Amino acid sequence: MQLSDLTMLNFVPVALALVGSVSAATIKASPYAGSATADVFPPTGTAANPSLFPPESVVGFPGVTATGSEPELATATIYPFNQQQAGSFPLVFPEPHGEDKSSTFNIKNYWGNLSPWRSLSSADYDLPNASPLVPEGCDVTQIQLLYRHGARYPTTGAAPANFAQKLINATRLGNLSFSGELTWLASWKYELGAELLTPFGRSQNFLLGVEHRQLYGHLLNNFTEAGTIPVFRTQSQDRMVKTAENFAAGFFGVPEYLNEVNIEIIVESPGVNNSGAPYEVCNNSNIATRGSIGSSVASKFAVNAFNSTLARLNAQTTGGLKFTPTDAIGMLQLCSYETVALGYSKFCELFTQQDFLNYEYYYDLSFYYNNGPGSPVAAAQGKAYLQEFLARFTQEYPSPFSALNETFDNSSTYFPLNQSIYADATHEVVVLDTLTAFNLTALFAGPPLSPTGDQSQNSFSASKLVPFATHFTAQVLSCPAYQPTKQMRFIVNDAVVPLHGSYPGCPADENGLCSFDTVVDVLKKRMAEIDYDYDCFGNYTAKAGVDYNGRAPK
């Protein structure tokens, strides 16, 4: 079956009923909906009385309301970097086990995809003089932003809940006790929700919206002149809808965003085509010898990665309970999840600096081989967004044969081709699939990651590329000093990514710039070489230790 058929058969009946470009006001109708198991606040019956607490429009007397000029911080001389110690208020991060407060090791930078995002340095990618600020003499004329949701609770069935259940089962058997640094575990309770954004996660997306309004607010003038409002996109999971809402609230303000942006919600469900969730229709995505080789190799690495710490912790436990490598991952994830949900976690204090380095490498292996250049399906899964990306530049609607939403990617209402600002919310795996599909090899410099755990030559970091609220920005610029004057460049978490190593025709430019037409041509060729049908549905075997450039072996 051709993918276009798959799209029409599985997507259209659902799409017509559930998907569309909707006003944010629509998705605000039930502000506390989302999870049947989550606590509801405020409790039923305590909602504010509108006669006692009228809205702003009824109270009146707004005072002076002159807005002023739109900000254009991207052209300033100082950039608002989100430094390693910043961007995580009001969370608390203790020192690793065995170290004191003089330690400079920041544990949150070694949590893989569970890390809060931080600004990266262009120098890390061999552009020491590049800045995310617009180069002098240039102007930004358009941006495309692909960003991840903020911090969330664990996904259903994840390791933290399994660890908690193991403790409950051991307690029921009796005689379980803890001593020393584990004494507190006897009274510990599992207090995490599932799937939804945490308060800190909501703030990340809100601030990301504020940041992009500060950087690129002047681009809204194009919408004013055209008499239109932008379409921003997201998926139908609760955390994804809330992500887009919080970003829009930060970008446009509250309640202005209710009327100043259309938020398009695309159904995320198995069998439904969606560029923001391509794994739902890529059959090979979850096969252990194909799209999930990273999960397998990471699990094997973890078997002996935490031996000394497990021996120390098991010595402080009696009653038949024995911590395993799986429990080590569960406790490290509790360190991450409790911190971004509750503000602090005592689990963090149990692990050494080396443990956190191994924890990061566990995620490095998983993402490099599941969604990075070591994956045989990564480029295929990122192809749909690549097609949409190019469509917005070429003014031509994308063709199918990927995870494209064929119905809605052929409508000017749902997929406008003339916006100066695009903002698409998605998941971290899709951001990495996209970076791989774009063939940004500077982000993956070095040999394939060692499945055996040799980290000495590792140049890939999951916490840098796929943290909570990670974002990938494409800037289109007008630069009179360049020939041609229309230029483009890519930025990942504030680091400019060089193109000259993997984009033929792009010079070694200190600002990471390359001719717009050259970049578009290179990406068109990359798009054509990605065989979606074979990579996602073909019969082949892939293995760790190989850089497939995101493509299936043939």
| Domains of the chain, start order | 3-30+116-153+197-290+367-537 (3.40.50.1240)
C-beta of residue 298 within 8 angstroms of C-beta of residue 363: yes
pLDDT of 56 reads 63
d(CA 478, CA 141): 7
Report whether 272 contacts 265 (CB < 8 A): no
Q: How far apart are CA 306 and CA 79, in angstroms?
A: 40
| Furthest-apart CA atoms within the chain: distance in Å | 76
DSSP state of 503: S
Which pair of tokens denotes residue 147?
A: 């960003």
CA distances (Å), origin 536, targets 127, 378, 380 = 35, 9, 7
Tokens of 427: 């998941």
Question: Is the separation of the CB atoms in 71 and 302 below 8 Å?
Answer: no
Tell me phi and psi for residue 332, to 5 degrees.
Answer: -65, -40
SS3 string of 215-270? HHHHHHHHHHHHCCCCEEEEECCHHHHHHHHHHHHHHHCCCCHHHHCEEEEECCCC
3-class SS of residue 497: strand
- Tell me the three-class secondary structure of 9-69, residue by residue: HHHHHHHHHHCEEEEHHHHCCCCCCCCCCCCCCCCCCCCCCCCCCCCHHHHCCCCCCCCCC
For strands 20-23 and 139-148, give the pairing: unpaired
> Does the pTM of the predicted model rise above 0.95?
no
pLDDT at position 173: 86
- Cα angle 330, 334, 336 (rounded to 5 degrees) comes to 120
Tell me, what's the pLDDT at 14?
A: 29
Separation CA 4–CA 2 (nearest Å): 5
Quote the tokens at residue 352.
């050494």
List, in sequence order, every residue forming a beta bridge with 20; answer none if it has no partner.
265
Determine contact, residues 151/321, Cβ cutoff 8 Å. no
Q: Which residues of 274-303 are buried (b: 16+ CB within 10 A; e: fewer)?
A: bbbbbbbbbebbebeebbbbbbbbbebbbe
Residues 536 and 273 sit within 8 Å (Cβ to Cβ)? no
431 in Cβ contact with 385 (< 8 Å): no
Q: What angle do CA 546, 552, 553 make, to 5 degrees?
A: 65
Q: Which two tokens stand for residue 239?
A: 């955390």
H or E element at residue 114? none
Contact 110, 359 (CB under 8 A): yes
pLDDT at 44: 52
Pairing of strands 495-497, 486-492: antiparallel
Q: What is the pLDDT along the chain (554 residues), one digit of tens a residue?
A: 333 333 322 222 223 233 433 333 333 333 223 333 444 444 555 555 677 656 667 867 666 555 566 777 787 777 888 876 667 889 999 999 999 888 899 999 999 999 999 999 999 999 999 999 999 999 999 999 999 999 999 998 999 999 999 999 999 888 899 999 999 999 999 999 999 999 999 999 999 999 999 999 999 999 999 999 999 999 999 999 999 999 999 999 999 999 999 999 999 999 999 999 999 999 999 999 999 999 999 999 999 999 999 999 999 999 989 999 999 999 999 999 999 999 999 999 999 999 999 999 999 999 999 999 999 999 999 999 999 999 999 998 887 789 998 777 788 889 999 999 999 999 999 999 999 999 999 999 999 999 989 999 999 999 999 999 999 999 999 999 999 999 999 999 999 999 999 999 999 999 999 999 999 999 999 999 999 999 999 999 999 999 999 999 98
Q: CA 10, CA 406: separation in Å to the nearest integer?
A: 11
Which amino acid, residue 12? V
Q: Which two three-digit tokens encode residue 467?
A: 């943290």
